[in-house]
Amino acid sequence: MGETHRIVYWIQRLSEIALIGWLALLLLIDIAVAVSNGDLAMWPGPVCGAIGIVAVLRRRAHRVRGFTVLLCVSFVFSLIIGFSGARGGPSLAEIGSLLILTIGGLRWIEPIRRAAFFSLASMIVLETAAGRLHQNEASLAAGFLVLVGWSFAAGVGAYLRFQLERRKEAVNSVRRAERLELARELHDLVAHHITGIVVQAQAAKVVAEQKPEAVVPALDAIAGAGADALTSMRRLVSVLRAQDDAARSPGTTLMDMRTMVERFSAGGPQVAFDIGHGITDETLAPEVMTTLHRVLQESLTNVRRHAPGAGWIEADLRLSDDSERTARPDRAPRAGSGARRDQRQGSPGRRVWLRVRNYGSAVDARISRLGGGFGLVGMAERVEALGGRLTAGHTPEGAWEVLAEFPV
């Protein structure tokens, strides 16, 4: 990547040197013509050409100011020559500088109405400079050639501006989609933590009548869950407010997943979380790790929300190839939101899969009324966006299973 940057840098530098060298050669020709004629009326052209070269050199730092100075000086010289009756043709360096500034102005000057105004002013100044010849046929020919050159420059500048605007719109669309995705993640995180707080508060209310001494640990757990919710919200809100060069998603590690499982087990059904051999923080891409974290979190949230009577939960994170994945006996098609997706074929090669099962569940209507959310649909969208697939449904053993697979 560094070598590519250096190549691009030197290509840009050499292009800039070639452009300035071309304008300097035109300026030398203008000076030679003015010296050979010996007429003072020929010198405004080289002067405008020199100013134009300076404006081109400084166009990135002072794009509008340099363009304005060149337009004003060229137009004033044309008026002076026109009213004095002298004969002085337009400078080649002057014309070249105006055309280059027209291309850059149409591409970069904001807003676009201002860029169009400078482009139109450039055409007027160029046609006025062509009238310095005071010869009908020569002025007409010079005006036509200048108009052709300006039309070409304006077309190039307009095309570059169109590409720039289209790229800006594409970038804005991606950013809007990112922020919507992060807003969805913020919703899921809050739902996860708030659901735990509600369940623990209900449990504390029940045990307060029978075991008052158990209320304090329950309150501590509620306070810890609230702190976790605030931390998660701060982390995601900081991403939403980050600048362009900031990370677009919070970092996630295997330790974060273990910590989440331990906290869930402390206030709900016990979770047996097993990470297979060969899986480390460096094994999986950050986006895959983050999505696995979200799938595990949403699965546990759904258990707590819709199946509070679950006896125990089994979670496995494994690496396998396609032959191992296909040979597993528990990969029979299951009902649920992911049943249709289960018919699709995965890409060959190694894959990582996360399976979450809960046993002995019974739905509590009071917990179900707490709200739904994006649930399985949101998880499936996340998984499929990374080239994976997600299935969910009942297993032959009577458990509810969520399985997410990703190519490695």
Mind listing the pLDDT tens digit for each residue in 39-98?
777 888 899 999 999 999 988 888 899 999 999 999 998 888 877 777 777 789 999 999
Do 157 and 119 form a contact (C-beta atoms < 8 A)?
A: yes
Which among 1-5, 77-81, 249-253, 340-344 has the top mean pLDDT? 77-81
Which has more confidence, 249 or 162?
A: 162
The predicted pLDDT at position 175 comes to: 64
pLDDT for the residue 91: 85
What pLDDT score does 197 carry?
76
Residue 320 near residue 351, CB atoms below 8 Å: yes
36 vs 138 pLDDT, higher one: 36
Q: Are residues 164 and 104 in contact, defined by beta-carbon separation less than 8 angstroms?
A: no
Look at residue 70 in the predicted model and tell me its pLDDT.
92
274-282 long-range CB contacts below 8 Å, 24 or more apart? 274/315, 274/316, 274/317, 275/317, 276/316, 276/317, 276/318, 276/319, 277/319, 278/319, 279/254, 279/317, 279/318, 279/319, 279/352, 280/254, 281/253, 281/254
Q: Which is higher by pLDDT, 107 or 82?
A: 107
User: For 131-140, 170-179, 343-352, which range has the lowest pLDDT when averaged over its residues?
Assistant: 343-352
Q: Give the CB-side neighbour count of residue 317, counting CA atoms within 13 A.
A: 22
Highest mean pLDDT, choosing among 104-118, 165-179, 253-267, 343-357: 104-118
